[in-house]
């Protein structure tokens, strides 16, 4: 496999010293929500820079082929906690339950001598296990309720800022302690409805951002499930709820309820109106239609999304600065990743769920003591994070985990026989006012090809990602590619057998 790792001699030497086993690193995982690689500067700078994530990547390892196993919020967190695919850990959808008999990452790190904390979004049905401290963020972005062991308290302030404050405070309490810490910080604000923090509302007010090549995709040649998906920017975003337009008559989604729903104070609302008001007036006057209307919606959506991302990047910057001030930078391994990627207008969509690249891929950057500097092109998944963190902590990785430690890759070592394919599965069938109707599917991706299967339609899709990076030419059933399709079908069956998929 192609590799572009540049070994850092100093880091490699440090890696080999017993200090990491005897004096183990703190582990800080900064985990965002729905953060696509296309909105991380060190992956793709067409839309934005993310100075703090980019700086972390510059002094650490960036995984260029980092994927999830099931592109949706709750299941991704269950994979993180168990090192098991969704079908194996039981959390296949946002509502189904995580198996109770499995050891979870926090418990395993506690057993290895770590103080553990989780702060921010949780999105799993049961309370945290294995965390000495937990503070779970719920509710709106401008007034966030935090649930702790002591109860639930609403706090006025933007979710990103409050989560950052709590993370810095908790890490400060660990300074001077005898145990290393593991902190899992879960930002929420890059998730729908993309309500930016007040200090980032002014970004991107002038000029348009570039559109993706497939904003006006017609879904030709693909499964009917792609066309049926309710994630279209053109059709499925709610005017007030998502697009911040002054629309009434949509009940809880309309403008009359917006202050309450978003938890805005009068000050928030005044600031909000000062930015969106004039733009909304111009929009209503222009009476846009057709492609022009889609383009306007895309710009409103992508700018709010990137404003929210800017807040998270700034939060990471504050967290890293606090580590440096406390002298913890040299003893703390920092991971930046997201629960999954997101469609930023590709295929005309917002949201995630599909195995197509924008939602399937997710950022993964790791930096700190013993971590080499460079890029790794090997295929990795969120499945690998639990084994990796246990490995970095000097703890045993339980044999039942399906992920593999990235420790050697992070040390700059090539790994013979590293996996040449990853498995994906999506299970959720949703309904109701805000639903997405993505059909369950599963598939395999190698370094170049992707094959996916949609059982509802008994339909296959096959893409050559080198020739067709936007995944618009479905080669399944094309006789020229029959051999390739047979090979990938067999590879997919092997992976399903290895991971013990029973359905």
Find the shortest distance in angstroms from Cβ 66 to Ca ion: 15
How far apart are alpha carbons 268 and 143 in whole angstroms?
10
Nearer to Ca ion, 15 or 360 (CB): 360
Query: Nearest distance from residue 166's CB to Ca ion, in Å?
Result: 20
Q: How far apart are CA 182 and CA 392, in angstroms?
A: 11
Tell the smallest beta-carbon distance from residue 472 to Ca ion (Å): 25
How many CA atoms within 13 Å lie on the side-chain side of 410? Answer: 29
Q: How far apart are CA 108 and CA 388, in angstroms?
A: 12
Q: How many residues bind Ca ion (CB under 5 A)?
A: 4
Q: What's the min distance (Å) between Cβ of 136 and Ca ion?
A: 15
Q: Which is nearer to Ca ion, 351 or 391 (CB)?
A: 351
Residue nearest to Ca ion (CB): 73
* Residue 33 touching Ca ion (CB under 5 A): yes
Among 5, 27, 32, 34, binds Ca ion (CB under 5 A): 34
Q: Whole-angstrom Cα distance, residue 220 to residue 223?
A: 8
- Nearer to Ca ion (CB atom), residue 223 or residue 337: 337
Q: Whose Cβ is closer to Ca ion: residue 339's or residue 357's?
A: 339
Residues 324-353 that bind Ca ion (CB under 5 A): 339
Per the DSSP assignment, residues forming a β-bridge with 181 are: 115
Question: Residue ranges of the alpha helices (H) in 250-366?
Answer: 258-262, 266-286, 290-325, 357-360
Using CB under 5 A, which residues numbered 63 to 82 contact Ca ion?
A: 73
CB of 30 to Ca ion, least distance (A): 14
Tokens found for residue 45: 């700078």
The least CB distance from residue 51 to Ca ion, in Å, is 23
Q: Which residues contact 447 (CB under 8 A, 6 or more apart)?
A: 1, 2, 65, 377, 379, 420
For residue 104, give the nearest of 131, 124, 85 by alpha carbon.
Answer: 131
* Whole-angstrom distance, CA of residue 58 vs CA of residue 37: 16
Token reading at 413 = 């070592």
Binding mask 100-139 for Ca ion (x = CB under 5 A): ----------------------------------------
Residues 401-430 that bind Ca ion (CB under 5 A): none
**Shortest Å distance, C-beta 31 to Ca ion:** 10
Interface ranges with Ca ion (CB under 5 A): 33-34, 73, 339
């Amino acid at each position: 496999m192609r590799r572009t790792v540049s070994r850092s001699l100093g880091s490699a030497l440090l890696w080999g010293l017993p200090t990491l086993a005897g004096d183990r690193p703190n582990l800080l995982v900064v985990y965002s929500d729905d953060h696509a690689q296309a909105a991380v500067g060190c992956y793709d700078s067409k839309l934005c820079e993310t100075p703090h994530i980019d700086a972390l990547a510059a002094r650490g390892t960036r995984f260029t082929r980092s994927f999830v196993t099931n592109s949706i919020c709750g299941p991704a967190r269950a994979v993180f906690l168990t090192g098991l695919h969704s079908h194996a850990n039981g959390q296949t959808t946002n509502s189904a339950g995580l198996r109770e008999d499995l050891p979870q990452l926090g418990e395993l790190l506690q057993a290895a001598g770590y103080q553990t904390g989780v702060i921010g979004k949780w999105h799993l049905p049961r309370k945290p296990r294995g965390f000495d401290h937990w503070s779970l963020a719920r509710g709106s972005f401008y007034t966030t309720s935090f649930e702790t062991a002591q109860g639930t308290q609403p706090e006025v302030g933007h979710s990103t800022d409050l989560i950052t404050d709590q993370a810095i405070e908790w890490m400060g309490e660990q300074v001077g302690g005898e145990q290393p810490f593991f902190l899992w910080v879960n930002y929420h604000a890059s998730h729908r409805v993309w309500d930016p923090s007040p200090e980032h509302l002014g970004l991107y007010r002038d000029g348009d951002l570039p559109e993706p090549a497939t904003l006006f995709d017609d879904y030709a040649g693909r499964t009917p499930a792609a066309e049926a998906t309710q994630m279209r920017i053109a059709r499925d975003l709610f005017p007030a709820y998502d697009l911040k337009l002054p629309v009434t008559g949509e009940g809880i989604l309309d403008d009359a309820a917006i202050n309450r729903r978003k938890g805005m104070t009068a000050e928030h609302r005044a600031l909000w109106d000062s930015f969106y008001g004039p733009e909304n007036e111009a929009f209503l006057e222009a009476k846009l239609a057709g492609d022009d209307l889609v383009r306007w919606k895309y710009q409103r959506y992508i700018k709010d999304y990137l404003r929210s991302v800017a807040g998270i990047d700034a939060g990471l910057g504050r967290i890293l600065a606090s580590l440096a001030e406390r002298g913890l930078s040299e003893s703390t391994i920092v991971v930046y990743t997201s629960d999954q990627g997101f469609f930023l207008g590709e295929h005309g969509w917002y949201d995630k769920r599909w195995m197509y690249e924008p939602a399937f891929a997710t950022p993964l950057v790791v930096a700190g003591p013993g971590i080499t500097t460079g890029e790794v092109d090997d295929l990795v998944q969120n499945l690998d994070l639990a084994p990796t963190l246990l490995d970095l902590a000097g703890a045993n990785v339980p044999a039942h985990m399906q992920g593999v430690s990235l420790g050697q890759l992070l040390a700059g070592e090539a790994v013979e026989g590293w996996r040449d394919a990853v498995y994906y599965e999506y299970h959720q069938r949703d309904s109701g006012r805000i639903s997405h109707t993505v059909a369950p599917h599963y598939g395999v991706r190698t370094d170049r090809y992707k094959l996916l299967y949609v059982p509802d339609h008994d339909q296959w899709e096959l893409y050559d990602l080198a020739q067709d990076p936007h995944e618009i030419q479905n080669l399944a059933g094309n006789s020229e590619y029959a051999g390739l399709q047979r090979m990938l079908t067999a590879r997919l069956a092997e992976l399903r057998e290895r991971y013990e998929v029973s359905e």
